[in-house]
Amino acid sequence: MAESPRIYTAALIVIGDEILSGRTHDKNIAQIASWLGVQGIRLKEVRVVADDEAAIIAAVNALRTVHDYLFTTGGIGPTHDDITVDAVAAALGVGVEIHPEARAMLEAYYAPRGGLNEARLRMARVPAGAELIANRQSGAPGIRCGNVFLMAGVPHITAGMLDALTGTLEGGAVLLAETLGCWVQESEVADLLRETERAHAGCQIGSYPFFREGRAGANFVVRSTEPDGLAACVAALDAGLVALGRSVIAGGI
Amino acid sequence: MAESPRIYTAALIVIGDEILSGRTHDKNIAQIASWLGVQGIRLKEVRVVADDEAAIIAAVNALRTVHDYLFTTGGIGPTHDDITVDAVAAALGVGVEIHPEARAMLEAYYAPRGGLNEARLRMARVPAGAELIANRQSGAPGIRCGNVFLMAGVPHITAGMLDALTGTLEGGAVLLAETLGCWVQESEVADLLRETERAHAGCQIGSYPFFREGRAGANFVVRSTEPDGLAACVAALDAGLVALGRSVIAGGI
């Protein structure tokens, strides 16, 4: 038997009352999940917690030791409800310090915008020993403390921070995916899905039904780290659907 | 001092590899959060977990005992990757049984659609002792096991199940919210926000910055269960912004 490849995993903590109140629709989960996939890292768990120090500390400590990487989004701005830096520092058991490079970046950014005040200087505070994550979108950087990455809450700023991290994190085999779409009720082909998955070790088949244009359909997503295994499983599923008299739309509907 | 009102809390577990892969953007968090708010119940934590029985069991048991209500979305369909019922039953320490009323509903629904097969009958399986949650959108019902509510993954089907539950869950004081919008960088008014919140017990102020039309702005959301306290805090914040020479847009920008 070949040795199993090392799987790299990550967790994400979305911090913010605005998500838990339903006021803001989170966009960072899907964005970070997709980005991690490309890095060869699997997002295994997400927790959304309130702007509450105890809740953030508990989530950080539950997740940072069981995953290779932990990301947070939100709560690194200049106002009183931005408590992520303090909470992460407390979780890691370190103090909070002003990062000189972050201070310099903020000074340069705010020089033509009224200058650095106490609130803006809050954005230079980091857990002791942390490094910065560049942010070309605005003055405030993201923060890396070992395997914990503190990102912005605003999705396009997080996108810039992810861009700066691209290619810098060690990952493993990328989880490949291929989709077959079919105008069929998933409940008509449940046996085929189960048996095809069972016959192809290392492959998972997800079934995602929908109802559009008055018709029931489903997309079947086959996932594997092995390109040959993936292709064989997709071919078997395709042939199975055709044998049941269904036409298959490669790439999904 | 008046007695503090009882706060009712809920947690949500979003179940599905498709969310963790980034393929599907979750819409249930915001939908359920908003609905709970109207019921006088606060969503305190969300976890997104994989289609993995151990992960679901761990999340269910971590959350169902510390909140008044626990909701799950996803994994109650007819295919092999739908394992929520089994996982919740295992978490509760009960068996799985066919619910006769669910079976009858599915028989009626599928009579003109090829009839009930083994896969479709899977959707009548419930943790022993569970009740059904009506679903006018499709044949398959949601499931209630004590304080645990199993909802669909497809958002419009979940919407129908929430509709059926409206007004049936005991809640407490509704968390009221009022928003003031202002074309200001939040870092310029951070002191005002902190001091206004501190001066109004029982109120929280959230600051949500944005950058639109080439200008920085922010919405300030004031939350409280007390209408009078809320109004006083909003008035103080409004006056404070005006005193700083800013115009305020009631309702937010």
Name the residue among A50, A113, A207 with its Cβ closest to that of B79.
Answer: A207
In a shared domain, residues A180 and A108: no
In a shared domain, residues B238 and B146: no
Whether A238 maps to a domain, the answer reads yes
With contacts defined as CB-CB under 8 Å, which chain A residues touch B110? 187
- Mean pLDDT within A164-168: 93
With contacts defined as CB-CB under 8 Å, which chain A residues touch B154? 209-210
Name the domain boundary from B124, B142, B165: B165
In a shared domain, residues B47 and B147: yes
- Mean pLDDT within A216-241: 96
Q: What is the CATH classification number for the domain harbouring A196?
A: 3.30.70.600
Q: Looking at residue B40, what is its pLDDT?
A: 95
- pLDDT tens column, A24-74: 999 999 999 999 999 999 999 999 999 999 999 999 999 999 999 999 999
In a shared domain, residues A114 and A207: no
Q: Looking at residue A138, what is its pLDDT?
A: 65
- B106: nearest CA partner in chain A: A187
Q: Are A194 and B79 inside 8 Å of each other by CB? A: yes
Whether B23 maps to a domain, the answer reads yes
DSSP letter, residue B7: P
**What region does A48 belong to: left with phi over 0, alpha with psi -120 to 50, or beta?**
beta
Per-residue pLDDT in tens (0 to 9) along chain B, 253 residues:
456 678 999 999 999 999 999 999 999 999 999 999 999 999 999 999 999 999 999 999 999 999 999 999 999 999 999 999 999 999 999 999 999 999 999 899 889 988 999 999 999 999 999 999 988 766 678 999 999 999 999 999 999 999 999 999 999 989 999 999 999 999 999 999 999 999 999 999 999 998 888 888 999 999 999 999 999 999 999 999 999 999 999 999 9
Name the domain boundary from B165, B192, B225: B165
Whether B3 maps to a domain, the answer reads no
Q: Are B33 and A21 inside 8 Å of each other by CB? A: yes
In a shared domain, residues B180 and B159: no
Name the residue among B29, B122, B190 with its Cβ closest to that of A26.
Answer: B29
Whether B96 maps to a domain, the answer reads yes
In a shared domain, residues A29 and A119: yes
In a shared domain, residues B44 and B113: yes
Q: Looking at residue B1, what is its pLDDT?
A: 47
Name the residue among B20, B81, B118 with its Cβ closest to that of A207.
Answer: B81
Q: What is the CATH classification number for the domain harbouring A30?
A: 3.40.980.10
- CA distance to partner chain B, nearest, from residue A194 (Å): 6
In a shared domain, residues B117 and B216: no
Whether B201 maps to a domain, the answer reads yes
- CA distance to partner chain B, nearest, from residue A98 (Å): 17
Residue pointed to by tokens 């500390």: A57
Name the domain boundary from B165, B186, B219: B165
The ipTM estimated for the assembled molecules is 0.91
In a shared domain, residues A93 and A19: yes
When mean pLDDT is compared across A141-145, A203-207, B64-68, B208-212, the lowest value belongs to B208-212
Whether B170 maps to a domain, the answer reads no
- Mean pLDDT within A217-239: 96
Q: Looking at residue A220, what is its pLDDT?
A: 97
Contact A87, A57 (CB under 8 A): yes
In a shared domain, residues B96 and B183: no
Domain of B190, in residue numbers:
176-250
In a shared domain, residues B35 and B80: yes
Query: Would you say the pTM of this structure is higher than 0.80?
Result: yes
What is the tally of structural domains in chain B?
2
Give exposure, A143-157, as e/b (b: 16+ Cβ within 10 Å): bbbeebbbbbbbeeb
Distance CA A90, CA B160 (A): 42
> What is the per-residue DSSP string for B192-204?
HHHHHHHHSTT-E
Q: Are B223 and A21 inside 8 Å of each other by CB? A: yes
pLDDT above 80: residue A136 = no
Higher per-residue confidence, A117 vs A213:
A117
Name the residue among B30, B47, B211 with its Cβ closest to that of A22.
Answer: B30
Contact B88, B148 (CB under 8 A): yes
SS (H, E, C) B88-154: HHHHHCCCEEECHHHHHHHHHHHHHHCCCCHHHHHHHEEECCCEEECCCCCCCCEEEECCEEEECCC
Whether A170 maps to a domain, the answer reads no
In a shared domain, residues A18 and A75: yes
Q: Looking at residue B5, what is its pLDDT?
A: 74
Q: Looking at residue B134, what is its pLDDT?
A: 87
Structure tokens at A128: 């002791």
Contact A150, A85 (CB under 8 A): yes
